[in-house]
Amino acid sequence: MAKRDNAVDLVGLLSVEGQDLAATWVREVSGSLKGRVGTAELDRELRELYDALLDALRQGATDVHADQMSEVRALLTELSRNRARQGFSPSETAVSIFALKRVLEPLLQEGSADDVRAYLELGRVLDGLGLFTIESYSQTREEIITAQAEQLLELSTPVVRLWDGVIAVPLVGTLDSARTQVVMEKLLQALVDTGSEQAIIDITGVPAVDTQVAQHLLKTIVAARLMGAECTVSGISPQIAQTIVALGIEFDDIVTKASLADALKLALRRSGVDLVAHEGAQR
C-alpha cells in the first residue's frame, strides 16, 4: 500500500487547509503571461486543471500517462492548443505547469522530510505534465502549418470559366511539382464539372519552370485529351521558352499562344463561336 500512502501525501501537499493554492497558481502564471490571457479565462482553465489533477492523484495516478490522468491530459491538450493558436511560445505554455512547483515551495520551509519527498514526487509528475504540454503544443503547430500550406495551395490555383465551354487556370508564382499536380487535378475535374472542351493554362505569371514542372504540364494536356478536351498554353515567357528548348522537352504537340487573349480567341473558334466586330462600334 506504499503507493496509496504516497498518493495521499501528494494530495495533502496540494490541498493545504485554509489556503487557496489554485488562486496563488493563477496569480503566478498570470504574471508570466503578462496579461495576454484574460484573468477570468486563466482562472477557469487552471482551476479545472487543478481539480482534475487532485482527482487523478487521489485515485493513485503516478505519472502523466496513467489512466486516471485522462481528464488532466484532455485539459492540458486544450490549454496547449489554445496557447499555440494564440501565438504563445512553447516555454510560455509549459511554464503554466511548472509555476505550480514554485507555488508549493514556501510550504516546504516548515515541512517534514516526508513533505519534501512528496514534493519531489509531485515535481516528477509535473515535469511529465510540462513535457506533455510541449508535445501537444508542437503537434498543434504542425497541424496549423499543414492546414495553411493546403489553404495556400487552394488559393493559388483558381480555375475560372471564361466562356461557355472554355475554362482557364492563370498560374502565378513559382511552380513546384506538388502544386503543379494539384493544378492538374483541379483543371481536369473542372473540365468534367463545367462540361468544357477547351482549357487554357496561362503561365504569364510564372517566372521559371523546371523539367519536372514542364513534364507535369505536358501530362495534364495529354490527360485532358484522353478525356476529350483540348488545352492551350499561353503566356510563355522568353526565358521559359529557352528553358523548354534547352531541356529538350517535347512541346511539339502542344498548342501555344503568346497571350491569354489569343488563346481565348482560338478556344472560341474551336468551340464554334465567331467574334464579329460591329461596324462603326463606339470604343
Partner 1 sequence: MSERIPILRIGETLLVSVQFDLEDQMVLNLQEDLAQQIVDKSARGVIIDISALEIVDSFVGRMLAAVAAISRVLDARTVVVGMRPAVAITLVELGLSLGGVDTALDLEKGLAKLRQSTDSALR
User: Would you tell me which residues interact with partner 1 (CB under 8 A)?
Assistant: 184-185, 188-189, 191-192, 195-197, 219, 222-229
- In this structure, which long-range contacts are made by residues 122-129, counting pairs with CB atoms below 8 Å and at least 24 apart in sequence? 122/10, 122/13, 122/14, 124/63, 125/10, 125/57, 125/61, 125/62, 125/63, 125/64, 126/97, 126/98, 126/100, 126/101, 128/63, 128/64, 128/65, 129/53, 129/64, 129/72, 129/76, 129/97
Nearer to partner 1, 19 or 189 (CB): 189
Quote the least distance from Cβ 175 to partner 1, whole Å: 17
CA–CA separation, 41 and 86 (whole Å): 13
Quote the least distance from Cβ 224 to partner 1, whole Å: 7
Query: Which pairing describes strands 166-172 and 160-163: parallel, antiparallel, or unpaired?
Result: antiparallel
- Identity of the residue numbered 69: M
Nearer to partner 1, 145 or 222 (CB): 222
CA–CA separation, 249 and 239 (whole Å): 14
Quote the least distance from Cβ 197 to partner 1, whole Å: 6
Quote the least distance from Cβ 147 to partner 1, whole Å: 24
Cβ atoms 211, 249 nearer than 8 A: yes
Nearer to partner 1, 13 or 188 (CB): 188
Nearer to partner 1, 228 or 280 (CB): 228
Nearer to partner 1, 226 or 246 (CB): 226
Nearer to partner 1, 65 or 225 (CB): 225
DSSP code per residue over 172-234:
ES---HHHHHHHHHHHHHHHHHHT-SEEEEEEEE-----HHHHHHHHHHHHHHHHHT-EEEEE
Nearer to partner 1, 192 or 241 (CB): 192
Quote the least distance from Cβ 162 to partner 1, whole Å: 17
Quote the least distance from Cβ 270 to partner 1, whole Å: 12
Quote the least distance from Cβ 250 to partner 1, whole Å: 12
